[in-house]
Structure 1
Amino acid sequence: MSPHVLLIEDNEQNRYLATFLLEKHGFRVEPAFDGPSGIEQAVANPPDIVLLDIQLPGMHGHDVARALRRIEALQGVPIVAVTSYAMPGDRTKALAAGCDGYIEKPIDPDSFVAEVTGFLPAAFQAQP
């Protein structure tokens, strides 16, 4: 079974790179271009993990994380902030908003998939 990733990312280049790397390792990636559509997609088709950009148009990533955490069916789904916000305190803010982890951009193509896999439920840990 392939892990289902909901990738909420508005930047086309970032979305392309993350999708390419994940799909190359057998992940199924569903893109969302902004927070509201990401929330709708998560409700309609719950993912195994959410990768969430923090700087999104219209709805800030922290607000998206909080909204996802209020949805009972998504309580066990890991949310990982993937963001260029790398100032002191940014990781803490993301975790306080409901994220389970934090990956800094630019992502490292050599370690990104392993980082994402580390946040997946145990059933997926043996996957590449």
Structure 2
Amino acid sequence: MAKRILVVEDNDLNRKLFCDVLKSQGYAVEPVSDGLDALDKAKNFVPNLIIMDIQLPNVSGLDLIEAAKADPLLRMIPVLAVTAYAGKGDEERIREAGADSYLAKPVSIGPFMVAVKGLVERPAL
């Protein structure tokens, strides 16, 4: 069975790119454009990985990561944060919120897939 990845990204081009690349690698993908829908979609889709944009309209990706890590159904799902925020201290804040890994935009496909595979294929704790 294909590993499932939830892609939370409000930018249409980025979301399509992430989804197309992941699908081409054999993953089942569920795109989410509105962060307000992300946690409900995660509970229904039960992904093996959540790719989370940090700068979303209506809600912060940091808040969504914290909420996911506080939820008994979602807390074990690894989170890859993807953000245009790449300033000093940003990675630390993102990891403190509960992200397992972090990539700064613009994202190159090679490092993106290395990060995805590292999180999806890692053994369960």
TM-score bracket for this pair, using the shorter chain length: over 0.9
TM-score by length of 2: 0.93
**Unaligned ranges ≥5, structure 1:** 124-128
- Give the deviation of 1:53 after TM superposition: 0.1
Matched, 1:49 2:56: no
What are the equivalent positions in structure 2 for 1:62-73 lying under 5 Å apart?
A: 62-73=62-73
Amino acid at match of 1:114: V
Cα distance between partner residues in 1 of 2:78 and 2:56 = 19
Cα distance between partner residues in 2 of 1:95 and 1:111 = 18
1:61 corresponds in structure 2 to: 61
**Unaligned ranges ≥5, structure 2:** none
Cα distance between partner residues in 1 of 2:4 and 2:122 = 14
Cα distance between partner residues in 2 of 1:45 and 1:104 = 26
Consecutive aligned runs of 4 or more in structure 1 exceeding 4 Å deviation: none
1:17 corresponds in structure 2 to: 17
- Give the deviation of 1:104 after TM superposition: 1.3
Amino acid at match of 1:37: D
Where 1:114 maps in the other structure, the secondary structure is: helix
- Give the deviation of 1:47 after TM superposition: 0.6
Query: How many residues get paired?
Result: 123
- Give the deviation of 1:62 after TM superposition: 0.4
- Give the deviation of 1:32 after TM superposition: 0.7
Amino acid at match of 2:51: L
Matched, 1:37 2:37: yes
**Per-residue CA shift, 1:84-127, capped at 9, x if unaligned?**
1111111101011111110111110233212211112436xxxx
Where 2:6 maps in the other structure, the secondary structure is: strand
Moved more, 4-13 or 34-43: 34-43
What are the equivalent positions in structure 2 for 1:1-128 lying under 5 Å apart?
A: 1-122=1-122
- Give the deviation of 1:23 after TM superposition: 0.7
Cα distance between partner residues in 2 of 1:79 and 1:117 = 12
TM-score by length of 1: 0.90
Where 1:30 maps in the other structure, the secondary structure is: strand
Q: Percent identity?
A: 35
- Give the deviation of 1:25 after TM superposition: 0.5
Cα distance between partner residues in 2 of 1:7 and 1:113 = 13
